[in-house]
Structure 1
Amino acid sequence: MPHRNAPLTETGRLRLARCVVDDGWPLRRAAERFQVSPTTAQRWASRYRQLGEAGMRDRSSRPHRSPRRTPTRTERRIIKVRVLRRWGPARIAYLLRLNPSTVHRVLMRYKLARLAHLDRATGRVIRRYERSEPGALIHVDIKKLGNIPDGGGHKTLGRQAGRKTRSGAGDSYLHNAVDDHSRLAYSEILTDEKKETATAFWTRAQAFFAQAGITVQRVMTDNGSCYRSRDWRDLLTAAGITHKRTRPYRPQTNGKVERFNRTLLDEWAYARPYHSEQERRDTFPGWLHTYNHHRGHTALKGKPPASRVPNLTGQYT
């Protein structure tokens, strides 16, 4: 495909070549007529003599030979290490005594998936999915978080002084529920992860989704004891909700709420130094509102979760 400032298109090349070959124009005259150099005019005339109209098409700039290309044996070793050990270009390069850019070029040439797209346990490409409507699947999980002692922790006082105040601060448990389709999140900071706490949280979470016009059909959790309890089972069964559990040691299956946990830590829990646990908790409702209503989500093309939940404000019946 010729660039926008190219003096000749395929049709122009053909006209130039015919003037030289068929009509007998001198190269300089033809070059001046089509505003190109005599060398260019000679090239297209020669191709026209050899190939006819087909010779006027663009050719690949790829060389016919690559004498300095990485040997096939070395490429096979790079691919073998990548497949078996799932290492990045830098680690593979150190092992095989190569340049990391060379390893990266080989991996790109053979179109091997990025490590971020692979399941580290099996090496298979992660199969991503998204339910077609809100409520089709809700991801539920618990994130344990250490409390900040009064006066601040190590981020405020420094590592050595913060270690002394850490003892006795205790832990908090963030119970999170994320809708698979819209990424709408409901979260609470609670004192434990017992079955009574988990079931009470889900009762409030279900009411939150119902107020937003979302009818929950399925819930996915890990294999924690609170989610294997009879109380949890009976609560979902009474509401007509199907309970799905992830495979053991496979948190990727519940990846949307796991990703929410990471976002929560990066943008709220550890976003700035806090002087007390209460100070951090006071900012949590505002952060959660921003996440649901204003923060652009990469999976939603930069739009917030509220853009996929028309009745989030409850203004429609």
Structure 2
Amino acid sequence: MVHAMPRLSPWSRLQRVRRVLAGRPAAHVAAEMGISRTTAYKWLARYRTEGIPELLDRSCRPYSSPGRTAPEVEAAVLALRRDRRLGPVRIAALLGLAASTVHRILTRHRMPRLAWLDRPSGEPVRRYERARPGELVHVDVKKLGAIRPGGGWRAHGRGSAQNSFSRAEVGAGRRIGYDYVHCAVDDHTRLAYAEIHPDERADTCAGFLRRAAAFFAAHGIARIERVMTDNAFAYRHSHAWRQALTDLGAEGRRIRPYRPQTNGKAERFNRTLLEEWAYARPFDSSSDRAAALPGWLHTYNHHRTHTALGGRPPISRIPVNDLAGQNS
């Protein structure tokens, strides 16, 4: 906050003007108050023109902006953003403008960021957070390519013999297969649990849900009320999945078709999982990668800061009395 009576406040300007109007020389008043003669005469002239309102601060906005983009060009920028949902760089290339100019136009018209929009509809994404732990748990499966013993191209490079051997195998119709990472994320706390399985069948998904519930219970989330998934077959037509929900006393929820952002917390966790665990370093085998998962999960839950939680880890959202010594 600015001081109420600084050297150049409207109040002090009025005092200078009054002293000059009372008969004192403007140069003497300027010297007494620590300003230049030019400044003293400037405020005196403004007061004589418009009175006290002219002693207030003026806007720094220029009287005219001859370099501002033409209205029709701005309209074209906004139309490309609304209709095709393009970023500043692509719009600039289409219209022959600088990307910085396009960015200023979008900012001036308060256009939302592309990351905040639902791609199919163009409407801003409604972000939400459940009020208490266990009210909603997001479940998803991430498929990863298995790693042959000795490591693949990430460990040895794309020009290595291992990479050539892998491509030859694919060409011959033989594949090493996939690992399926089953993930569960609590909506309120962002506490996460994950397991690696060779498939995503219904009984595998049901067993994972039961163990995830036990994990959450051990970390202070006694009951899961709702479970949100996508529309995979294992979640839609599985008696094992429905029975697991019934045993846990939970209600099943599925996202609308082709709207994965509804399950966005699980999708975002999958991205973090890939960046900070699966692709964080070259692994020598799938078992080597799997062995690193529990340690990374502990770091994610107990130590890794989360921007949506104000820079705190997920475990911080669980009452201390419910942790039972887990935050170590």
Q: TM-score, normalised by structure 1?
A: 0.94
The correspondence of residues 117-266 of structure 1 with structure 2, limited to 5 A, is 117-161=116-160, 162-166=162-166, 167=169, 168-214=175-221, 215-228=223-236, 229-266=238-275
Change (3 A) 1:114 1:5: farther
Contact 2:220 2:323 in 1 (8 A): no
Displacement after TM superposition at 1:3 (Å): 8.8
What SS does structure 2 have at the residue aligned with 1:145? strand
Displacement after TM superposition at 1:124 (Å): 0.9
Rounded Cα–Cα distance in structure 1 between residues aligned with 2:104 and 2:86: 15
One-letter amino acid of the counterpart of residue 85, structure 1: R
One-letter amino acid of the counterpart of residue 217, structure 2: A
Contact 1:149 1:165 in 2 (8 A): no
Displacement after TM superposition at 1:315 (Å): 5.0
Pick one of 265, 283, 292 that aligns with 1:274.
283
Contact 1:2 1:9 in 2 (8 A): no
Rounded Cα–Cα distance in structure 1 between residues aligned with 2:29 and 2:141: 77
Tell me if 1:91 matches 2:70.
no
What SS does structure 1 have at the residue aligned with 2:51? helix
Rounded Cα–Cα distance in structure 2 between residues aligned with 1:176 and 1:284: 12
What SS does structure 2 have at the residue aligned with 1:119? coil
The correspondence of residues 75-86 of structure 1 with structure 2, limited to 5 A, is 75-86=74-85
One-letter amino acid of the counterpart of residue 154, structure 2: K
Displacement after TM superposition at 1:165 (Å): 4.5
Contact 2:5 2:12 in 1 (8 A): no
Displacement after TM superposition at 1:122 (Å): 1.2
CA RMSD of aligned residues (A): 2.0
One-letter amino acid of the counterpart of residue 269, structure 1: A
Contact 1:135 1:218 in 2 (8 A): yes
Deviates more, 1:132-141 or 1:162-171: 162-171
2:172 is matched with: none
Change (3 A) 1:39 1:94: same
What SS does structure 2 have at the residue aligned with 1:63? coil
Displacement after TM superposition at 1:4 (Å): 11
2:49 is matched with: 50
Contact 1:306 1:312 in 2 (8 A): no
Rounded Cα–Cα distance in structure 1 between residues aligned with 2:3 and 2:83: 43
Deviates more, 1:160-169 or 1:71-80: 160-169
One-letter amino acid of the counterpart of residue 189, structure 1: I
One-letter amino acid of the counterpart of residue 314, structure 1: A
Rounded Cα–Cα distance in structure 2 between residues aligned with 1:292 and 1:14: 61
One-letter amino acid of the counterpart of residue 310, structure 2: K
Alignment deviations for residues 78-122 of structure 1 (CA, whole Å, 9 cap, x no partner): 111111111111111111111111111111111111111111211
* Gap runs ≥5 in structure 2: 170-174
- Percent of residue pairs identical: 52
Deviates more, 1:78-87 or 1:52-61: 52-61
1:12 is matched with: 12
What SS does structure 2 have at the residue aligned with 1:159? coil
Displacement after TM superposition at 1:170 (Å): 1.5
Displacement after TM superposition at 1:283 (Å): 1.1
Change (3 A) 1:217 1:155: same
Contact 1:153 1:165 in 2 (8 A): no
Q: TM-score, normalised by structure 2?
A: 0.91
Give the length in aligned residue pairs.
315
Displacement after TM superposition at 1:221 (Å): 0.3
Alignment deviations for residues 268-298 of structure 1 (CA, whole Å, 9 cap, x no partner): 0000111122211111111001111111111
Displacement after TM superposition at 1:239 (Å): 2.8
Displacement after TM superposition at 1:312 (Å): 5.7
Rounded Cα–Cα distance in structure 2 between residues aligned with 1:249 and 1:305: 29
What SS does structure 2 have at the residue aligned with 1:271? coil
What SS does structure 1 have at the residue aligned with 2:138? strand
Displacement after TM superposition at 1:164 (Å): 3.3
Displacement after TM superposition at 1:307 (Å): 0.3
Tell me if 1:108 matches 2:115.
no
One-letter amino acid of the counterpart of residue 16, structure 2: L
